[in-house]
Structure 1
Amino acid sequence: MPEVIYDPNYPAPDVLPESGFYDYLFGDESPLGKFDKSLPAYIDGLDGRVLTRGGLENSCLRLVSGLRALGVQRNDVACLWGLNSLEWARTAYGCLAAGVTVSPANYAYAAHEIAHQLNDSGAGIIFLDPTLIPMFDAARKEIKRPFSNERVILLCTPERKPKELAQYKAFEEILGARAEPEHFTGSQIRDTAFLCYSSGTTGLPKGVMTTHNNMTSQLQALNIGYEQLESGRDTVLGILPYSHIYGLTIVFFQPFTVGVPLVVLPRFEEISVLSAIQKFKITHGLIVPPIIIILLNSSNVDNYDLSSVRTFMVGAAPTSPELSESFSRRFPHITLTQGYGMTECSPTTHVCNGAEVAGRAGWIGRLLPTFQARLVTEDGVDAAHGERGELWVRGPSVMKGYLNNPEATEKTMAPGGWYKTGDVLITDDQGWYKVVDRVKELIKYKGFQVAPAELEGLLLQHDKVADVGVIGVWEESQATELPRAYIVPKPSADLKSGAAREAFRAEIASWLADRVAQHKRLRGGVVIVETIPKSPSGKILRKDLRVRAQAERDAEVQLRAKM
């Protein structure tokens, strides 16, 4: 059967840039040079500090000389580990100017998680929030490459550097004189610009090699199909973590490419977000479904002027039609749109903008320009039009591969350059797509990926656990999946009484919470079972666990109805 290839409905970019990412953003030949350098690029949503486009460029070139003085060379890797901030922004751009690969890390990482990323990426310098120094110190015993103090840089101003951390320099303390940036031309545009870590379905997170060309192509495509933001009119809310590819590309970089300022907040906190919307007259925001739930149930929104907001885009996890409709009733002046993507695609493959979304609640949008798509059945043939199939995509924004993991790269790529997303979609005659199932085993907790196998590997190290299977269970009130562990205890656990079983469940949840980032905690609970369902080859049958979870949920609903 021949391949059924879907092309985008949007027009293609006139010309895709053939330059390094920094030159695309600041180079003399860049179309972005049309924007006045006095325009604000990033605004601190807490203290009101403004970083202009010209100030950002100057900071970049000063960091180039600072990095070179430390012996950091082109294509070395720098880890950025901290909450969203102007210092994070200046560091990311400055590393790009120096030709350094940026590997952002989740602020919530535990010691062994940051150690894994540092070891796998080969990072030779780390920029981190001062509050993370104790966690970094705890990780040092697992880090294979020692970090001298001069290569541990604090993401704060010198004035805010804690006195007890005097042995480390703050970001501004390593800046030197302006220096010439590194240029990437020809085949060099396929050098790795970013190493974000994505939780695949097995093992620890994998480093996704995102090239300069991946990013410039992605931003060109976004600027055609995405929400049409205008310089001088719009201001964007920047709360999603820039360590996540969604936050990095669409929140952090895309507004800069259209001359629109981003209001930077360290994380989502209801009052600070509502205050920022009112103070800075924010017109567009990028959020995840759990934020919708908070705003719907908030008793504070009526105390703030949110009239400036026109659109919110929801990504990183599906949004149900019911949730979208509830939001529209509460906030009729805000148009809610959706998008879809993954780290391996830099990340966005599908979008819809405010002008298109009416009557399309629950749909993820249309295919972005530069991409092609296929929907492939379990038999490996292309689905008939209108039928469901696993989404395969290809285009210049698809990753170069997984760092140090050619086997995983081979498994996720099909001949012809197709990346297998692991999600099952349908499409209609107008080129709209909807996610209807997932082949992958990943758990999506509030937009963050959680690999069941990683949690299982940790839980098996507990001296009372004989076997374990982890799945995600849907929690409607939070609009997200919650990790749940089904555990076979060892006989030595002695769980004969109800109190002993309850204490065991609490012990397991607490034990894991001490070893993982917050989004990986067992918020879905710990269930004690006699066996874990497995295939003849030993593979955990998660579909059977999901059936069990649904039965447990149904029984709970029936019990409540009788009360």
Structure 2
Amino acid sequence: MPEIIYESDHRKPDVLPECSLWDYLFGNESPLQKFDKSLPAYIDGLDGRTLTRGQLEESSLRLVSGLRALGVKRNDVACLWGLNSLEWVRTAYGCMAAGVTVSPANYAYAAHEIAHQVNDSGASVIFIDPSLLPVFDAARKELKRDFPNERVILLCPPEKKPKELAQYKVFDEVLGARGQPEHFPGQQSRDTAWLCYSSGTTGLPKGVMTTHNNMTSQLQALNIGYQQLVSGRDKVLGILPFSHIYGLTIVHFQPFTVGVPVVVLPRFEEISVLSAIQKYKITHGLIVPPILIILLNSTNVDKYDLSSLRTLMAGAAPCSPELTESFNKRFPHIALTQGYGMTECSPTTHVCTGEEVEGRAGWIGRLLPTFQARLVTEDGEDAKRGERGELWLRGPSVMKGYHNNPDATEKTMAPGGWYKTGDVLIIDDKGWYKVVDRVKELIKYKGFQVPPAELEGILLQHEKVADVGVIGVWDEAQATELPRAYIVAKNVNIKTGADRDALSAEVAAWLAERVAQHKRLRGGVVVVEMIPKSPSGKILRKDLRVRAQAERDAEVQLRAKM
């Protein structure tokens, strides 16, 4: 049977330039030069500080010489670890101008997690939020290289530098004279520009090599398939973590390419977000489904003027039709759309705009230009329209591969350059796609990826855990999956329910001290006699999911009788 290859019905970009991401954004021949350099690019949503396009360019070129003075060279790696801030933004652009690969890290990482990313990426300099220094100091014993004080740079304004951290410099103290940007023409545009870490179904997170060409192709595809931001009219809510590829590309970069400012907030906090929407007249936001739940049930929404907000796009996790419909009833003036993507595709592959979404609740939209798609069944055949199949993608925004991990790259790529997403979709006769299942075993907690195998590996180090299997259990109230561990007890006498509860609480608290917040066992710890496994020793997670559903059904029945 011949391959069924789906193309985007959007027009294709006229040209896909082969240059650095910096040159695409600031180069003399860049079409973005049409925007006035006095236009605001990023606004601090808490204190109102504004970073213009010209100021951003100037500080970036000054960081080039500052990094050179530290001995940081082209294609070296910088770890960028902190919450969203103007300092984070300036660092990102400055490293790009210097030709330095940026590896952003999750603010919530524990010591061993940041140690893994720093070691695996080969980072030789770190830009860090001051509050994270204790965690970094704890990670030092696991690092493969020393980080002298001059290679540890604080992400805060000079006036907010803690006095007890005088041995470190802040971003502004590193800046030198205006330097020259590095260029990556032609084949050099395939060098790695960004190294975000994506959790796999096994082991620790893997570094995804996103090239300059991957990113410039992605931004052009977005600007054709996602035409709803207008310079001089719109402002974007910047709450999604810039360290995540969703926040990085769609919130951090894409508005800049169309001359629209981003109102930057460190994280989602209900009151600060509502205040920022009212104060700055924000028109467009990018969110994850759990935020919809909060807004839907909020008692504070009616205290703020949200009339400027026209559209919200939900991504990183599925958004159910029921949630969409409830949101639309409470906020009829806001068009709620969905998108789809993954770190390995830089990230967005499907979107729908506010004008298209009516009557399409639960659908992720149409394929972006530059991408091709296949839907492949379990027997390797191509699914027809309306039939289920694993989504395979091909295009210039698909990653170069996993950093230092050719085996993982080979397993996820199929002949012909196809990236196997692990998600099962359908496509209708109008070219709209819907996610209906997931081949991957990843747990998605509020948009963050939680690899079960990583948690299992850590839990097996607990002296009272003989065996373990981790799955995600769905929580309707929060519209997300919650990590749950099933454990077999070791060296402990379980006689009563109280004994089980005590062990469960102990194990959950023990893990919480060793992982980021989004990886905690919010779905609970269940003590069992054995973990179901295949003859080859593979954990049968589907059996654990059946058990979890039975436990949930029993709980519902019990509540109904009370």
Partner of 1:181: 181
For residue 530 of structure 2, what is the aligned residue in structure 1? 531
CA–CA distance in structure 2, aligned partners of residues 44 and 227 of structure 1: 25
In structure 2, what is the Cα distance between the partners aligned to 1:308 and 1:208?
Answer: 37
Q: Matched residues in 2 for 1:341 and 1:542: separation?
A: 25
The 5 Å alignment of 1:36-435 reads: 36-435=36-435
Matched AA of 1:270:
E
Q: Name the SS of the counterpart of 1:353 in structure 2.
A: coil
**Paired residues of 1:227 and 1:354 also in contact (CA < 8 A):** no
SS at match of 2:25: helix
Q: CA deviation at 1:384?
A: 2.4
Asked whether the 8 Å contact 1:317–1:444 carries over to 2, the reply is yes
SS, match of residue 468 in structure 2: strand
Partner of 1:333: helix, strand, or coil? coil
> What is the aligned partner in structure 2 of residue 555 from structure 1?
554
SS at match of 1:313: strand
SS in 2 for 1:444: strand
Alignment of 1:420-499 (within 5 A): 420-490=420-490, 492-499=491-498
- Structure 1 residue aligned with 2:540: 541
Deviations 1:210-246 (A, max 9, x none): 0000000000000011142000000000000000000
Q: CA deviation at 1:19?
A: 0.9
Deviation string, structure 1 residues 284-306 (Cα, Å, up to 9, x no partner): 00000000000011000000000
CA RMSD of aligned residues (A): 0.5
Taking the aligned partners of 1:483 and 1:424, their CA distance within structure 2 comes to 21
| Unmatched tracts of structure 1, length 5 or more | none
Is the CA contact (8 Å cut-off) linking 1:466 and 1:488 kept in structure 2? yes
CA separation in 1, counterparts of 2:385 and 2:313? 28
Q: 2:433 and 2:97 mapped to 1: Cα distance?
A: 37
CA distance in 1, matches of 2:374, 2:332: 36
- Higher alpha-carbon deviation: 282-291 or 14-23: 14-23
Structure 2 alignment gaps of length 5 or more: none
- Distance in 2 (CA, whole Å) between partners of 1:64 and 1:548 is 56
Identity of aligned residues (%): 84
Structure 2: how far apart are the matches of 1:384 and 1:352? 22
> 1:470 touches 1:486 (CA, 8 Å); kept in 2?
yes
Please state whether the residue corresponding to 1:410 is helix, strand or coil. helix
Shift of 1:501: 1.2
Q: Secondary structure at the match of 2:543?
A: helix
- Distance in 2 separating the partners of 1:530 and 1:41: 57
Distance (Å, rounded) in 2 between the aligned partners of 1:76 and 1:109: 22
What is the TM-score with the length of structure 2 in the denominator? Answer: 1.00
CA distance in 2, matches of 1:436, 1:167: 53
Give secondary structure in 1 for the equivalent of 2:384: coil
- Decide whether the 8 Å contact of 1:241 with 1:248 is kept in 2: yes
Structure 1 residue 385, shift from structure 2 partner: 2.4
Alpha-carbon contact 1:79-1:105 (below 8 Å) kept: yes
> Aligned partners of 1:14 and 1:325: how far apart in 2?
38
Separation (CA, whole Å) in 1 of partners of 2:520 and 2:316 = 19
- Tell me the SS of whatever aligns to 1:434: strand
Quick one: distance in 2 between partners of 1:169 and 1:494?
A: 54
Given residue 386 of structure 2, which amino acid in structure 1 is its aligned partner? G
> What does the per-residue CA deviation read over 1:318-360, in whole Å, with 9 as the maximum and x for residues that have no partner?
0000000000001000000000000000000000000111100
CA distance in 2, matches of 1:147, 1:379: 50
Q: Given residue 96 of structure 2, which amino acid in structure 1 is its aligned partner? A: L
2:295 partner letter: L
SS at match of 1:65: helix
Give, as a single letter, the amino acid of the residue that structure 2 aligns with 1:447: G
SS in 2 for 1:338: strand
Separation of aligned partners in 2, 1:434 and 1:185: 38
- Indicate how the Cα distance of structure 1 residues 227 and 560 shifts in structure 2: closer, same or farther if over 3 A, else same: farther
Which letter does structure 2 place at the counterpart of 1:145? R
* Distance in 2, Cα, partners of 1:121 & 1:102: 9
User: What is the alpha-carbon distance in structure 1 between the residues aligned to residue 100 and residue 477 of structure 2?
Assistant: 42
> Which amino acid letter does the alignment assign opposite residue 238 of structure 1?
G
- In structure 2, the partner of 1:500 is 499
C-alpha distance in structure 2 between counterparts of 1:546 and 1:212, whole Å: 41
CA contact (8 A) 2:18 2:187 kept: no
Deviations 1:530-562 (A, max 9, x none): 111111111111111111111111111111111
Contact 1:208 1:399 in 2 (8 A): yes
TM-score by length of 1: 0.99
Question: Using the alignment, how far apart are the partners of 2:227 and 2:185 within structure 1?
Answer: 30
CA distance in 2, matches of 1:257, 1:548: 49
Aligned pairs, how many?
562
Q: Distance in 2 between matches of 1:384 and 1:351?
A: 21
Structure 1: distance between partners of 2:381 and 2:163: 63
Q: Following superposition, which runs of at least 4 residues in structure 1 exceed 2 angstroms of deviation?
A: none
Name the SS of the counterpart of 1:64 in structure 2: helix
> 1:384, 1:368 → 2: CA distance?
20
Q: Is the 8 A contact 1:227 1:352 kept in 2?
A: no
**What secondary structure sits across from 1:422 in the alignment?**
strand
Contact kept, 8 Å, 1:370 with 1:396, in 2: the verdict is yes
Residues in 2 aligned to 1:49 and 1:166: alpha-carbon distance in whole angstroms = 24
* SS of corresponding position for 2:6: coil
Q: CA deviation at 1:497?
A: 2.1
Distance 2:487 2:525 in 1: 7
Kept after mapping to 2: 8 A contact 1:364/1:432: yes
Task: Determine helix, strand or coil for the equivalent of 2:545.
Answer: helix
Q: What does the per-residue CA deviation read over 1:16-62, in whole Å, with 9 as the maximum and x for residues that have no partner?
A: 12111000000001011100000000000000000000000000000
Partner-residue secondary structure (3-state), 2:78: strand
